[in-house]
Amino acid sequence: MAATKVLVVDDDLNIQRVLVFTLKQEGYEVHVASDGQAGVEMASSIQPDLILMDVAMPKIDGYAATQQIRAAEDGRRVPIIMLTAEADVEQRVKGLRAGADDDIVKPFHPLELIARIKALLARSGGGPGRKTQEKVTLGRLACFYGAKGGVGTTTIAINTAIALASRLGRKTSLVDANLQFGDMRVFLDLSLDSSSIVNAISEPDLDGELLKRLIISHHAGMDLLLAPPNPETADIVAERQKNDPASLSNILSLMRKAYDYTLVDMAKTIDDFNLQLFDESDVIFVVMTADLSCLKNVRLVLETMDSLGYERNKIQLVLNRSNAYTGINVDNAESALGRKIDYQVINEYRGAISALNSGEPFMASRPDGPLGQSVSKFAREMDTIFAEEAVPARA
Ligand SMILES: Nc1ncnc2c1ncn2[C@@H]1O[C@H](COP(=O)(O)OP(=O)(O)OP(=O)(O)O)[C@@H](O)[C@H]1O
Ligand SMILES: [Mg+2]
Instruction: Dump pLDDT digits (tens) for 298-342.
Output: 999 999 999 999 999 999 999 999 988 888 899 999 999 999 999
Check residue 126 and give its pLDDT. 59
With beta carbons less than 8 A apart as the criterion, state whether 104 and 111 touch.
Answer: no
What is the Å distance from ligand 2's center to 204 Cα? 29
How many alpha carbons fall within 13 Å on the CB side of residue 69? 37
Q: Would you say the CB of residue 348 lies under 6 angstroms from ligand 1?
A: yes
Q: Would you say the CB of residue 182 lies under 6 angstroms from ligand 1?
A: no
Instruction: Give just the sign of the alpha carbon dihedral 110, 116, 119, 120.
Output: negative
251 vs 385, residue with greater confidence: 251
What is the Å distance from ligand 1's center to 381 Cα? 21
Mutation choice for ligand 1 from 148, 155, 162, CB with most ligand atoms inside 8 A: 155
State phi, psi for 366 to the nearest 5 degrees.
-140, 65
Strand 223-225 and strand 216-217: the pairing is antiparallel
Rounded Cα–Cα distance for residues 203 and 238 (Å): 14
Rounded Cα–Cα distance for residues 317 and 145 (Å): 10
Q: Would you say the CB of residue 319 lies under 6 angstroms from ligand 1?
A: no
Nearest residue by C-alpha to atom 10 in ligand 1: 152
Entry pTM: 0.69
Residue 89, helix vs strand vs coil: helix
What average pLDDT does the chain have? 90
Q: Would you say the CB of residue 49 lies under 6 angstroms from ligand 1?
A: no
Rounded Cα–Cα distance for residues 143 and 267 (Å): 10
Q: What angle do CA 278, 283, 318 make, to 5 degrees?
A: 105
How many alpha carbons fall within 13 Å on the CB side of residue 124? 22
Q: Would you say the CB of residue 297 lies under 6 angstroms from ligand 1?
A: no
Check residue 106 and give its pLDDT. 85
Check residue 390 and give its pLDDT. 42
Which residues have their alpha-adjacent CB atom under 5 A from ion ligand 2? 153-154
Nearest residue by C-alpha to atom 23 in ligand 1: 150
What is the Å distance from ligand 1's center to 307 Cα? 29
With beta carbons less than 8 A apart as the criterion, state whether 189 and 360 touch.
Answer: yes
The arithmetic mean of pLDDT across residues 55-70, rounded, is 92
93 vs 347, residue with greater confidence: 347
- End-to-end CA distance of the chain: give it in Å, rounded: 38
The arithmetic mean of pLDDT across residues 251-262, rounded, is 96
Rounded Cα–Cα distance for residues 14 and 134 (Å): 28
Check residue 21 and give its pLDDT. 92
Q: Can you give the length of the chain in residues? A: 395
Q: Cis peptide leading into 367, omega within 30 of 0?
A: no
Q: CB within 8 A of 313, min separation 6: which ones?
A: none
Check residue 132 and give its pLDDT. 39
Residue 260, helix vs strand vs coil: coil
Nearest residue by C-alpha to atom 26 in ligand 1: 150
